[in-house]
Chains A and B, each alone.
Chain A
Amino acid sequence: MKQLTKTVTLEHKQLTILKPIDLVVNAGETLAIVGSSGSGKTTLLSLLAGLDLPSSGEVYLKKQALHKLDEEQRSQIRAEHIGFIFQQFLLINSLTALENVMLPAELANKANAKELALTLLNDVGLADRCEHFPNQLSGGEQQRVAIARAFISQPDVLFADEPTGNLDSNTGQHITNLLFNLNKQYGTTLVLVTHDQKLAQRCHKQIEMADGHLIAEQNNLTPLTSVDKAVKL
């Protein structure tokens, strides 16, 4: 992304949430965006994922200029290349766990959506909860369904917004391990927004934001892959 900015108008006042930012995320890389509340992390994520358009600057995903595309074209890009994990899980309450996981695969026109979903639910340890509705699952279970949903379409990039933010530390740890394991398995590029330093440390790279600026960028030389292997779900 080049010289990306985002300005919003609130009650007739111009508010610049994102000041000019340049950033490159390479394929297969894991990136953590950290920073205090209101620093612009989530805004940055929404622009990277094509959920929102920048006020100025350029965003490219797999050489496609997202900033030049309309909502419909960006939808198509999301369907083909992007997966999401949210702090609030955001499962569709009226669909079962299985149907929630199948959803992106169906939207991406994958013929074997059900088989893929069952495999992934098995991978996240919820094979026996397929027919349960979100309100019948715990927070941790819901997030595991969300992770399965995120990987089903085998996205090139996975965006995760505070994936452990709504979970207790123990469950959060399990979810983190699951996320990184699957990420490694599928070779997905991972961009996550977090307050959690431990989580950020596990990424190849982390950037810190404050007041809409990118204030620090660091490469974690030793991503904690050894821990991954140690954790059993």
Chain B
Amino acid sequence: MSWMSNLVVKQSLRLFKHEVRQGELTIMFLAIVLAVATVFSLSGFSNQIKSALVEQSSHFIAADRVLRSSRPISQAVLTKSQQLNLHYVKQVDMSSMVFSTDSNMLLASLTATSDLYPLKGELLVSRSKKAMLAGEFQSVHAPKSGSVWVDAPLLAKLKVNVNDQIEIGNSLFTIAGVIKQRPDASFSLFSLGPEVIFNIRDIDKTELIQAGSRVGYKYLFSGNKQNIEKFSAWLTPQLNDTQRWYSIKSQQNALAKTLNKAEKYLSLASLLGIILAAVAISVAARRYSQRHQSAVAVFKAMGASKRYITQLYLIHWSLLCVVSIVVGLCCGYLLQYLGLAAMANYLPIESSLDWSYPLFTAIITGLICAIAFALVPLRELIETSPLQVIRDPILKANKFFSWRYLPAALALFVLVWLFSRDWLLTFVLLIGGAIIIAILLMLALFLVRFSRTIGSGAGQAWQLALANLKRRATENSIQLVSFTLAINLLLLLVVVRSDLLADWKKQLPDNSANKFLINITQPQLAKVQQFVDENNLTASALFPVVPGRLTAINNERVVSKETQKEQIASKGSNKGTDKIAENKNSKQRIGIGRELNLTWLDALPNNNKILSGKWWSANDDYAQVSVEKSIAKRLSIVLGDELTFTLGSDVFTVKVTSIRDVHWQSMQPNFYMIFNNKVLDNYPATYIASLYIPPSDESIFTQFLAQYPTITVLDVDAMIKQLNNVIKQVSLAIAFILVIVVLAGCLVLVAQVQATMGERQRDLAILRTLGAKGRLLRNSVWYEFVALGVIAGTLASFIMEIMVYFIQTRLFNMTASFHFNFWLIAIVAGGLFVGLIGILSCWRLLTKTALHRYAV
């Protein structure tokens, strides 16, 4: 190392040491610390929360991932799963008649499964009828060879009991237990009879699988998260159109939707936190450069070369970054540790955390911010002319648009992409952001200039404040944009959080139905109603149901999707694209492929909304049907179409008179097709209803059901509890993230106020010298910042409303709404908070001695 290097290192360290002690680098240090800590804690924390939520919810598919297929899958897939140390369960699903030894028979849903089922969650079984009535059950896996687990209604319908034998196909089985709860029970109200589970080793004995028999194959996988992901990445490209690979998140139920929304919110919050921290660094870097310009000019005047200055400040800056990143990592670790510890009571947090990802992203973020945001300010610093020692630089007009912002914009682009891994979101966010900033700058400039006009008649402090606003119009506009962005992003998070919680609350109101009763016969109707009334229960209406199949639209036959898939699969092609092409070429519409539950009603049910057409009146004398919007879209059904249904051997045609939106997450029976009462009245119907059974009435309910064993119960209690858990846990996690993001937002505000301190200091000194009283100066500073805060709060509210609209409708699929109550909060809080930060930051400058010292 040459003498120059030694000296430069010595001087850098000297500068660094003193500046740290004098607090000169605090804002910059805090900005980097916060960015790194935010990324470290949020990426670690939200990933942990996300995977813990998914882990906990995976019980509902009894595995981490499921592969559903219409044919057995190749052994290579199973071998691969074993190589990755995954557990798997093979299942075969089918419908078949089961017989009692007394020759009673019943159509049942059969599941043949391998021993390890379920891989996640619990299969609860009562070993005797007595135990069942007493609510006693135990957690089991697949039954032993030769025995079965059955649904309770099967006992009543076949007139058999536990330990009796039933015949499935060509084989006899002993009923070893009654199913109380199956983790991956279908939540479909449409069921092909009671469930029977037997061991897959017995499947050949039953001889049920023959050429042409309609069976479905399910392969359940579980294991280490990374291995599951590896397996998924390996498997996905090989899937064909007759196979479906899914996790709990890709399911179409309320839990999956809640999980997805929670995940999206956590990601959004983390992203906004990171953007705020990056903005703080950007503002602080500019301030860093400005503060050191005078020193660089002196160094140069004393003969320091540009190379020397470059080395001096590179070392200085690197020291600052390294120290800040290390402290940031420590803070991030601590924050994440505290956050996860707080959540550990509610969620299965993995004990062995994978630190590599948060660590890597945090360091990368710190470096990107430290390099990209400082590049231009540092370059400008190094280029400082020595002439500045005797003359202030000729101020270049502060351009709104300049290439100098390019590295920062690129860095932000990389950061957003790094966290979202979503090109579209990244482009939309940044291009949208740039447009918003440009509009804001122009608006801010206009408002700040306008303020002088409106301020002409105000009191003295106000006049001074407004005059100051106008005089530093460009700087104030930039400051205003920073304030607006910080307030806007904070507001956005608070508003979306409040909307999300309200949405979840709406989805699961208190006492929302936790049981569905299916297959209630006409004679049982009165008894069910009586039970509901006597126990004062909350219940939905009783809906009549007739199973029917949609066979033609406008006299054009629809094809079963299964049939078409099988036709395609039998052609032997394995390439998905070919199949899609064939599908497109096929002119026939693909139908629903199964029977639908058809109902008829006079009035539009709750949680249903007519989108087009009109609901019928009681006087209409022709057959009509109202179609749910997603199925209408899928089958290209429009108003006025004639739909043909087959019920048993009968065929009838009805006209579509309305298209409905259905809130599927509402805990009530919902229907794709609702008829008016001109058609289905004559068909024998069963009824379904949903009701809320409080935990205290559970035993009365069990006793009631024991009297009517043919009624099937769909118990969604576990799912509702899980939904409530997810909502509670996510709310907690959100609160944690909000704290960090609010910190980042505050830092932006403080950094921005600090950035204008130099000029402000000079102005205040001059005013003081001219005899302005302390009170006047304090008030003028207070009013100036309050005015900035109020304008920023107003602009932020306006932008928030636009952004929330897109987030609600595009990201969360929610209904858009206005949030005027938050406008007031933003404006008042913005004014007070910015005012407070302003006055606190200027406090030292407002004391007499400091001002006099400067003015001497």
Q: Using a CB-CB cutoff of 8 Å, which residues 79-94 of chain A contact chain B? A: 79-80, 82, 84, 86, 90-94
| Complex: chain B residue closest to A108, CB-CB | B303
Q: Using a CB-CB cutoff of 8 Å, which residues 38-74 of chain A contact chain B? A: 42, 45-46, 49, 51-52, 71-72
Please, how many angstroms separate the alpha-carbon atoms of A132 and B11 in the complex? 17
- Tell yes or no: A156 within 8 A of B by CB: no
| Complex: chain B residue closest to A100, CB-CB | B298
Q: Which residues of A contact B7 (CB under 8 A)?
A: 106-107, 109
Q: Is the CB of A75 within 8 A of B391?
A: no
Q: Which residues of B contact A135 (CB under 8 A)?
A: 853
- Tell yes or no: B358 within 8 A of A by CB: no
Please, how many angstroms separate the alpha-carbon atoms of A79 and B589 in the complex? 87
Please, how many angstroms separate the alpha-carbon atoms of A107 and B295 in the complex? 14
CB pairs A–B below 8 angstroms (6 shown): A45-B390, A77-B303, A78-B303, A84-B389, A90-B294, A107-B304
Q: Which residues of B contact A138 (CB under 8 A)?
A: 856
Q: Is the CB of B389 within 8 A of A75?
A: no
Please, how many angstroms separate the alpha-carbon atoms of A90 and B295 in the complex? 8
Q: Using a CB-CB cutoff of 8 Å, which residues 119-163 of chain A contact chain B? A: 133, 135, 138-139, 161
Q: Is the CB of B303 within 8 A of A46?
A: no
Please, how many angstroms separate the alpha-carbon atoms of A96 and B370 in the complex? 28
- Tell yes or no: B678 within 8 A of A by CB: no
Chain A 95-114, CB-CB to B under 8 Å as 1, else 0, gives 11001000110111100000
- Tell yes or no: A219 within 8 A of B by CB: no
Partner of A46, one of B24, B298, B300, B387: B387
- Tell yes or no: A233 within 8 A of B by CB: no
Q: Which residues of B contact A79 (CB under 8 A)?
A: 302-304
Q: Is the CB of B305 within 8 A of A46?
A: no
- Tell yes or no: B394 within 8 A of A by CB: yes
Q: Is the CB of A75 within 8 A of B22?
A: no
Q: Is the CB of B298 within 8 A of A139?
A: no
Q: Using a CB-CB cutoff of 8 Å, which residues 1-28 of chain B contact chain A? A: 3, 7, 11, 14-15, 18-19, 22, 24
- Tell yes or no: B301 within 8 A of A by CB: yes
Q: Is the CB of A51 within 8 A of B390?
A: yes
- Tell yes or no: A176 within 8 A of B by CB: no
- Tell yes or no: B810 within 8 A of A by CB: no
Q: Is the CB of A86 within 8 A of B856?
A: no
Q: Is the CB of B303 within 8 A of A82?
A: yes
Please, how many angstroms separate the alpha-carbon atoms of A33 and B804 in the complex? 66
- Tell yes or no: B183 within 8 A of A by CB: no
Q: Which residues of B contact A201 (CB under 8 A)?
A: none
Q: Is the CB of A75 within 8 A of B304?
A: yes
A185 to chain B, nearest CB (A): 21
Contact A75/B294 with A42-B391, A46-B387, A86-B390 known, Cβ cut-off 8 Å: no
Please, how many angstroms separate the alpha-carbon atoms of A222 and B677 in the complex? 124
Interface size on B, as a range, is 20 to 34
A209 to chain B, nearest CB (A): 15
- Tell yes or no: B306 within 8 A of A by CB: yes
Q: Which residues of B contact A3 (CB under 8 A)?
A: none
> Please, how many residues of chain A have a CB less than 8 angstroms from a CB on the other chain?
39
Question: Which residue among A46, A72, A80 has the maximum number of chain B CB atoms within 10 Å of its CB?
Answer: A46
Q: Which residues of A contact B391 (CB under 8 A)?
A: 42, 46
- Tell yes or no: A76 within 8 A of B by CB: yes
Partner of A133, one of B18, B294, B301, B856: B18
Partner of B22, one of A52, A109, A133, A139: A133
- Tell yes or no: B831 within 8 A of A by CB: no
B293 to chain A, nearest CB (A): 12
Please, how many angstroms separate the alpha-carbon atoms of A166 and B385 in the complex? 23
- Tell yes or no: A10 within 8 A of B by CB: yes
Q: Which residues of B contact A93 (CB under 8 A)?
A: 22, 24, 295
Q: Is the CB of B394 within 8 A of A107?
A: no
Q: Is the CB of A76 within 8 A of B305?
A: yes
Seen from chain B, the residues whose Cβ lies within 8 Å of a Cβ on chain A are 3, 7, 11, 14-15, 18-19, 22, 24, 294-295, 297-308, 385-387, 389-391, 394, 853, 856
B398 to chain A, nearest CB (A): 15
Contact A84/B302 with A45-B390, A92-B295, A109-B3 known, Cβ cut-off 8 Å: yes
Q: Is the CB of A94 within 8 A of B303?
A: no
Contact A51/B18 with A46-B391, A79-B303, A94-B295 known, Cβ cut-off 8 Å: no
Please, how many angstroms separate the alpha-carbon atoms of A51 and B301 in the complex? 7
B570 to chain A, nearest CB (A): 80
| Complex: chain A residue closest to B397, CB-CB | A11
Q: Which residues of A contact B387 (CB under 8 A)?
A: 46, 51-52
Question: Which residue among B299, B303, B391, B856 has the maximum number of chain A CB atoms within 10 Å of its CB?
Answer: B303
Q: Is the CB of B15 within 8 A of A86?
A: no
Q: Is the CB of A10 within 8 A of B394?
A: yes
Q: Which residues of B contact A77 (CB under 8 A)?
A: 303
Q: Which residues of B contact A75 (CB under 8 A)?
A: 300, 303-306, 386
B704 to chain A, nearest CB (A): 82
A10 to chain B, nearest CB (A): 7
Please, how many angstroms separate the alpha-carbon atoms of A133 and B24 in the complex? 13
| Complex: chain B residue closest to A43, CB-CB | B391
Q: Which residues of B contact A78 (CB under 8 A)?
A: 301-303, 386
Please, how many angstroms separate the alpha-carbon atoms of A10 and B393 in the complex? 12
A39 to chain B, nearest CB (A): 14
Q: Which residues of B contact A49 (CB under 8 A)?
A: 301
A186 to chain B, nearest CB (A): 17
Please, how many angstroms separate the alpha-carbon atoms of A84 and B387 in the complex? 12
Please, how many angstroms separate the alpha-carbon atoms of A106 and B11 in the complex? 9
Q: Which residues of A contact B3 (CB under 8 A)?
A: 109
B319 to chain A, nearest CB (A): 13
Given contacts A82-B303, A107-B303, 5 further A-B contacts (CB under 8 A): A46-B391, A90-B297, A90-B389, A93-B24, A96-B18
Question: Which residue among A10, A75, A82 has the maximum number of chain B CB atoms within 10 Å of its CB?
Answer: A75
Please, how many angstroms separate the alpha-carbon atoms of A48 and B386 in the complex? 13
B22 to chain A, nearest CB (A): 6
Contact A95/B15 with A72-B305, A104-B302 known, Cβ cut-off 8 Å: yes
Q: Which residues of B contact A71 (CB under 8 A)?
A: 306, 386
Please, how many angstroms separate the alpha-carbon atoms of A182 and B295 in the complex? 25
Contact A94/B15 with A84-B301, A107-B302 known, Cβ cut-off 8 Å: yes
A151 to chain B, nearest CB (A): 13
Please, how many angstroms separate the alpha-carbon atoms of A94 and B304 in the complex? 17
B558 to chain A, nearest CB (A): 75
